[in-house]
Each structure stands twice: as structure tokens, then as C-alpha cells.
Homo-oligomer: A and B are copies of this chain.
Amino acid sequence: MSAPHVFDAAIGLQAQADGTFTGQTSPAYANMIGPFGGITAAQVLNAVLQHPDRLGEPVALTVNFAGPVADGPFTIRPRAARTNRSTQHWTVELLQGDEVLVTATVFTAVRRETWAGHEMRMPQVPRPQDAPITPRHGVEWLQRYEMRFLEGHIPSKWDGAERDDSLTRLWVRDHPPRPLDYPALTGLADIFFPRIWLRRAKFVPIGTVSMTVYYHADAAQLAATGDGHLLVQAQGQGFGGGYFDHAGQLWNERGTLLATTHQVVYYKE
């Protein structure tokens, strides 16, 4: 029996008799302070996926980072606010003691075959095997992803040289590679370093306050993606009054749009 993948160990939850789940922050996904937000989002989604009443696959997730998650145990409390014939609306809270640190909503649905035609197309970029792995230093969670930056890398000099655009594109996958599923896709939707750093070449304190993921991949498309690379991109939209937002997209190597994502991020100064 081989040890579980580090990602599976990190998102592992224990179902409790009262319908809640308990888990633990993972040192493997540590951020500067507390855990990487993407792993927290994956844990929140996983609680819904593990819930015995869950209907269908995730279509939309919004996670609000309300307070700092401390290293250690936590409880996730998912609740089906409404169940329709083939869709379900969940509200979720993550707590440590009686403190609410995350609020979230998840929409799941039994998908049906319909007309399809993704409009947001994968840009023309080098294949992953032609793009070298980008060495990355710093916080621990970065080592859990293999990243091949194509455009908009984190500034090499923090010299305050401002730029007009913050588009970042890279190939990324779990490290070591792991077959894609919804929790992994959720973590990958949060791997973008803050757009404000790229715009300003200044290392200002930041923190994501809310992230949304829309899942376009069904189970077959996840399976077809396997442990291949995803091309992901994000670009900032508005920056002011202490908050900026970005919009992003994630495709697999075949060019299938798997998810879109948005987040709003606090910054200081």
C-alpha cells in the first residue's frame, strides 16, 4: 500500500455524526501565514462532495476568507439550503472553536447533454514540454505545484517599476502529478501570485477575501485531463481603495476550458 498523494492527505476529512467534517491544516501547503487559500477552498468543496446528501457535480463555488485560519484542526459545516430535482445549493462554514473563518456557497447539479461551445479559447502558447520548469522559492505550498511560466512572472526586481497590465500565463499541475478532480481544480484556480505585485513591482501585503470558481469540466473531461498540465491565465481588472480583482481561465492540454475563476484581494498601501 502506497502513501496517499500529499494533496489527498491535505484535503482528507473525517465525517462526524452531526453532519460536520473535521480536518487539519497541512504543513505541506503552508503559506506565509496559515494555509494556502487554494487548499482551504479545496477542503471546503471536499466537505460538500463527501456529504451523503450531495446531488450532482459542482458548477459554482464562492469561498470567502473571513479570518486567518490557524495551523491545526478545523471543522467544516456544510448545509443543503435547498435541494431541487437535479440541483442543490449549499452553504458552508469553516470554524476553529466557535470562530467562523470561512463562509462559502456551492452549487451542484446533475449535468445534462446540451449544445456546447466554449467561447473563451486557449491562447497560442508553447507546449508544456517546450517550456522549462520555473524554479520557485518561498512559501511551502509553491513546492506542491510544477509551474512553467510563459508570461507575467513574479517580478525579479522589486524596484517599483509599474506596468499597465498584469496578465500571467503558465502551465501548471500538481507536484508530484496527480489525476485531476474537482478539489485539485479548485486549488489550481488559486495559484496566481497577486496581480498587484506584477503591476507595481512592490511587495505589498495582500490577502484574498473572496474567490469564485465556475466549473465547466464534467467527469469525462476531468478523466481525459488525467495528470496533464493545465494552461492557466489571470489578469487584473480594477485596483483601488485597498482591493483589486482578477479574472482567470484554466484549460487542459487539449484546449478544453475546464473552469473560470475570479477573486477579489485586499492589499495594503
- Residues on A lying within 8 angstroms of B by beta carbon are 59-60, 62, 64, 66-67, 81-82, 84, 87, 89, 91, 93, 99-101, 103-105, 107, 109, 111-120, 162, 164-166, 195-196, 199-200, 209-210, 212, 214, 216, 218, 235-243, 245, 247, 249, 257, 259-260, 262, 264, 266-269
Give the dominant DSSP class at A's interface.
strand
- Interface contact B117-A239, CB-CB below 8 Å: yes
Q: How many whole Å from A204's CB to the nearest CB in chain B?
A: 8
Least CB separation from A260: chain B residue: B237
- Interface contact A212-B62, CB-CB below 8 Å: yes
Q: A103-B81, A212-B212 are in contact. Are A117 and B199 (CB under 8 A)?
A: yes
- Interface contact B164-A119, CB-CB below 8 Å: yes
Cross-interface CB contact of A118 among B60, B118, B239, cutoff 8 Å: B239
Q: How many whole Å from A190's CB to the nearest CB in chain B?
A: 16
How many angstroms between the C-alpha atoms of A199 and B115 in the bound complex?
A: 11
- Interface contact B199-A264, CB-CB below 8 Å: no
Q: A103-B89, A107-B64 are in contact. Are A114 and B237 (CB under 8 A)?
A: no
- Interface contact B118-A238, CB-CB below 8 Å: yes
- Interface contact B218-A241, CB-CB below 8 Å: yes
7 pairs, A vs B, C-beta closer than 8 Å:
A59-B210, A62-B212, A107-B209, A115-B239, A237-B260, A238-B259, A247-B247
How many angstroms between the C-alpha atoms of A257 and B91 in the bound complex?
A: 31
- Interface contact A114-B241, CB-CB below 8 Å: yes
- Interface contact A62-B105, CB-CB below 8 Å: yes
- Interface contact A59-B243, CB-CB below 8 Å: yes
- Interface contact A62-B59, CB-CB below 8 Å: no
Q: Which residues does chain B contribute within 8 Å of A200, judged by CB atoms? A: 115
- Interface contact B62-A117, CB-CB below 8 Å: no
Q: A114-B240, A114-B241, A115-B269 are known; give 18 further A-B pairs, CB within 8 A.
A: A60-B264, A66-B89, A67-B82, A67-B84, A82-B101, A89-B103, A91-B91, A91-B103, A109-B209, A111-B242, A118-B238, A119-B195, A216-B237, A216-B240, A216-B243, A216-B245, A218-B240, A247-B247
